[in-house]
A and B are shown apart, each in its own frame.
Chain A
């Protein structure tokens, strides 16, 4: 094995990757800032995208707030995780809408719930973005009262709230 040749090749592959990454990120509408713009309070990174703020969906970042909404009873909790995760434990009366199978499930969802149905989406936890994806998808098709419970199922469970 010619070490020099390998090093040159890897340098070239890495160089192409880095250059391409920076160019694509610069021109992509979904590109992000090179240095973080993390909203540490919410533990969510905000993309450096024009108009991003208008695309932001309200977040619930306290488990107790989510708990109050839950006990008020008007809001539908929607579980963005996989069916298996949902079946092994979820927020009581939450319904399953795995974000990966959104298209397959959304028709029956639309039949059951009106566009003004208050909805809170959640996924496995703060580092999982599925709840955000699901909230965006639901907002895009016309649901007007969507919020995201960012602590997710792990936060809910850790605070001792009921599960089923």
Chain B
């Protein structure tokens, strides 16, 4: 079993796929928030977890953390560090969602977007989805060996 897990962790194709899935997801998730920071700030208020003076800064900065980490993952730039950032963000999202789920708070309409109601999901679904992304991020962090580049060639990467 241990060998099986290790072979998955060290599979460079899975690692490449994980980076692309996470990268595209995070870039996509950042897009609407960057375009509508006021709307995202309102959603952050809705979480009712942060001091009010910090809300706007959170709403301004978080989408760019997502964007830069996503681009870095896809581009293979500091992939382990970018994955650590993404896992950290996911850990925070999962925690905040779980706290509000436990508190029974009415939830906002968009995790991906500040205004796409066609994609509404319940908090539970979002938490499960985030946990799956979290696992992908862990694979990228633990991967040892030469990472594949987006164009399929191996390149040396400590």
Q: Which residues of A contact B (CB under 8 A)?
A: 1-2, 5-6, 9-10, 12-14, 16-18, 20-22, 24-25, 28, 30-38, 43-47, 49, 80-85, 98-101, 123-130, 132-133, 154
- Nearest 3 pairs between A and B by C-beta? A127-B46, A100-B118, A9-B81
Contact A133 to B115, CB < 8 A, known contacts A14-B65, A43-B45 = yes
Q: Roughly how many angstroms separate A45 CA and B36 CA in the complex, as a whole number?
A: 12
How many residue pairs link A and B with beta carbons under 8 A? The number is 156
Q: Establish whether residues B55 and A36, one from each chain, have CB atoms under 8 Å apart when the complex forms.
A: yes
User: B35 an interface residue at 8 Å Cβ cutoff?
Assistant: yes
Closest CB in chain A relative to B120 CB, distance in Å: 5
Say which size band chain B's interface belongs to: 35 or more
Q: Establish whether residues B43 and A127, one from each chain, have CB atoms under 8 Å apart when the complex forms.
A: yes
In the assembled complex, 6 residue pairs joining A and B whose CB atoms fall closer than 8 Å, in A order, are: A6-B80, A30-B35, A33-B56, A124-B107, A128-B110, A129-B43
Q: Roughly how many angstroms separate A81 CA and B26 CA in the complex, as a whole number?
A: 24
Given contacts A6-B80, A13-B68, A82-B119, 11 further A-B contacts (CB under 8 A): A16-B68, A17-B69, A24-B64, A28-B37, A36-B55, A45-B55, A85-B120, A100-B116, A124-B109, A127-B45, A129-B39
User: B85 an interface residue at 8 Å Cβ cutoff?
Assistant: yes
